[in-house]
Amino acid sequence: MSAPKLSNILAQQAVDAVAQFGSSGKAAEVLRVPAETVRARRREGAARGLKPSGNRIISPEDSLKRQVTRLESDLRSATQKSIDEESIRRHIIKLADSATRLETPEWVIEPAGRASSPGVPTLFFSDLHWGEVVQPSQINGVNQYNLKIAKTRLHNCFGSAVKLLRIISPKMDYPGLVMPLGGDLVSGNIHDELTATNELNTMPTVLDLYGELVALITAAADTFGRVFVPAVSGNHGRDTHKIWSKDRHATSFDWLLCCLLAKRFEGDKRVTFHIPDGPDAYYRIYNHRYLLTHGDQFRGGDGLIGALGPIVRGDHKKRSRNAQIDMEYDTMICGHWHQYVHLTRLIVNGSLKGLDEYAYSNNFPFEQPQQALWLTHQKYGITYRMPVLVERQRPAAKTSWVAIAA
């Protein structure tokens, strides 16, 4: 069978792209086809007498950037006109109902498989602070953070989590992966110092993180078969001076980013999102009930007990409130405090960023950048609990296993 004849549209596209970008290699990157294909199409176009038409080729990145800019403008207009949240989703972002449905997917509530299965793993991502820069010279060299390091740590986190879960179950006998997004995904410009020192402004940061999370969720779906992503907004990604109680979600770049991700995966039946309007997301794994929140509602603390006091008090208040509205939960999970804590009824996530200038100058305790990983068993509830360290550790010095002082 002879090869199909090249259409004039594709030939003209190749001629225009090479003329616009100056080389077949660059044109191939934008068109997302092999460079040899672009060269062959351009040669065929030249043989047909085609000349550059002057039409500009828009890259996928530019197209996405325009889409995000348009969505932000639409959201602002929607807020001014008091359009409700469901209208925003349906008429502006056009998310499918299944992309943000409130029901936990069936495989999470009643996963198929043997009773001996280790359960459903949860890999908790929060406090990525994408775009922020931490200068090691300002914190005695104990940490460094920028976009390059953030991407490495994000990849290390998922890879290390898979290795840990493979140790527990070499056959990877898991019905899927729950991957909460707990807010403060982007650094934002909420303080003057962040505006001055962030590596990128907020919108380019959202675009950069969008690409990384698309790859991460895709890898999770390929590895575990199914992924459930409950998501809440943090306090850093807002576009208001102070955090709003009303329309908190609609003023957050975290929320916008999660909605774009849901839109990206709405045709992928392996991936389900739960993006509530309020600050809390409720879901359950088997019969274990979880409440996901960012944690910025909890304030206080002191030099003795640190963040644990306000977090425990906040958890107590939420349990009291929820008991009155028939929405009790078993475990609250949150971020915000950049300290990994795993108690029976409370899980506080670490951060991808690690120690920064603010924590160092306020004498907060040092903690390795890490994220939380645990398993929920159908009979025993939370079982395995594992912090996932995201920095490659230096080889330990060769010393004796047991040393006795003279």
CATH of the domain at 188: 3.60.21.10
DSSP 300: -
Are 175 and 274 in a shared domain?
yes
**Residue 89: partners with Cβ closer than 8 Å, 6 or more residues away:** 95, 100, 259
Pairing of strands 280-285, 271-274: unpaired
Residue 55 is predicted with a pLDDT of: 80
Residue 112 is predicted with a pLDDT of: 65
User: Is residue 311 one of the residues assigned to a domain?
Assistant: yes
User: Is residue 3 one of the residues assigned to a domain?
Assistant: no
Q: Can you read off the two tokens belonging to residue 178?
A: 């729950």
User: Is residue 321 one of the residues assigned to a domain?
Assistant: yes
Distance CA 79, CA 88 (A): 9
Are 88 and 99 in a shared domain?
no
Are 84 and 127 in a shared domain?
no
Residue 22 is predicted with a pLDDT of: 85
Are 129 and 42 in a shared domain?
no
Residue 26 is predicted with a pLDDT of: 83
User: Is residue 325 one of the residues assigned to a domain?
Assistant: yes
**Residue 221: partners with Cβ closer than 8 Å, 6 or more residues away:** 227, 268, 270, 271
Taking the mean position of all CA atoms in its chain, how far away is CA 264?
Answer: 13
User: Is residue 379 one of the residues assigned to a domain?
Assistant: yes
Cα distances (angstroms) measured from residue 370 to each of 314, 336, 338: 23, 13, 9
Are 89 and 218 in a shared domain?
no
Are 74 and 183 in a shared domain?
no
pLDDT digit of tens for each residue in the chain (406 aa)?
A: 555 678 888 888 888 888 888 888 888 887 778 888 888 888 888 888 888 888 877 766 676 777 777 777 777 666 655 455 555 555 555 554 444 445 678 888 776 666 668 999 999 999 999 999 999 999 999 999 999 999 999 999 999 999 999 999 999 999 999 999 999 999 999 989 999 999 999 999 999 999 999 999 999 999 999 999 999 999 999 989 898 989 898 899 999 999 999 999 999 999 999 999 899 999 999 999 999 999 998 887 655 567 888 899 999 999 999 999 889 999 999 999 999 999 989 999 999 999 999 999 988 889 999 999 999 999 899 999 999 999 876 666 666 666 666 5
How many domains are contained in the chain? 3
User: Is residue 326 one of the residues assigned to a domain?
Assistant: yes
Residue 320 is predicted with a pLDDT of: 93
**Residue keyed to tokens 């010279």:** 137
Helix orientation angle between 8-21 and 35-47, rounded to the nearest 10 degrees: 110
Contact present, 262 and 214 (Cβ < 8 Å):
no
Phi, psi dihedrals of residue 175, rounded to the nearest 5°? -75, -10
Q: What would the pLDDT profile of 345-389 be if each residue is shown by its tens digit?
A: 999 999 999 999 999 998 888 999 999 999 999 989 999 999 999
Are 349 and 232 in a shared domain?
yes
Are 326 and 202 in a shared domain?
yes
Are 65 and 107 in a shared domain?
no
User: Is residue 404 one of the residues assigned to a domain?
Assistant: no
Q: What is the edge-to-edge ordering of all strands in the sheet holding 341-342?
A: 280-285, 288-293, 331-334, 346-348, 341-342
Are 248 and 236 in a shared domain?
yes
User: Is residue 55 one of the residues assigned to a domain?
Assistant: no
Residue 99 is predicted with a pLDDT of: 42
Taking the mean position of all CA atoms in its chain, how far away is CA 381?
Answer: 25
Domain that holds residue 66: 60-93
Are 236 and 183 in a shared domain?
yes
Are 30 and 128 in a shared domain?
no
pTM of the full structure: 0.73
Contact present, 123 and 388 (Cβ < 8 Å):
yes
